[in-house]
Amino acid sequence: MSGAPRFVGWALDRAEREALLARFPPRYAKVVADHVTLKFGDSEARLPTETEGEIVGEADDGRGVQAMVVRIGGTTERPDGSTYHITWSLGPGRQAKESNDVIAARGWRAFEAPTPVKLQPQGWPR
């Protein structure tokens, strides 16, 4: 698929997803909770090698975007300077891509203890 815009990152382990949703209840009606992005729009991007991370915090703008901040390889910072996260839930009219803006503008709240999360390296065509 060379030349096709795509993103690479990690899918949440499907067997673990329900337990994570129970631990961190979605605040908005549309539940996403499916992946962490590493790179977007790079048709040559390679899959990451990490298979574990930690949910270390949360961002919520109170208006329809909830995201879980993830530490991977010892950092929450993506190579592009944004923050590793999982868009958790969305309200009406909101989009997953808004999670980056919410985290950048409002920051995020750290949890007292990290929650381990299994991650499956994956690429998605767009």
Residues near 112 by beta carbon (within 8 Å), at least 6 away in sequence = none
Query: Three-state SS for 6?
Result: strand
pLDDT of 126 > 80? The answer is no
Pick from 4-13, 44-53, 74-83, 87-96: least confident: 4-13
- What are the residue ranges spanned by the domains of the chain? 6-125
pLDDT of residue 1: 42
Single pTM value for the model? 0.92
Q: What is the Rg, in whole angstroms, of the alpha carbon atoms belonging to the chain?
A: 14
- With a pLDDT cut of 90, the percent of the chain lying above it is 83
Q: Mean pLDDT, to the nearest integer, of 104-122?
A: 97
Q: pLDDT for 10-37, tens place per residue?
A: 999 999 999 999 999 999 999 999 999 9
Q: Where are the alpha helices (DSSP H) in the chain?
A: 14-23, 98-106
pLDDT of residue 3: 52
**Cβ neighbourhood burial of 34 (10 Å; 0-12, 13-18, 19+):** middle
pLDDT of 4 > 70? The answer is no
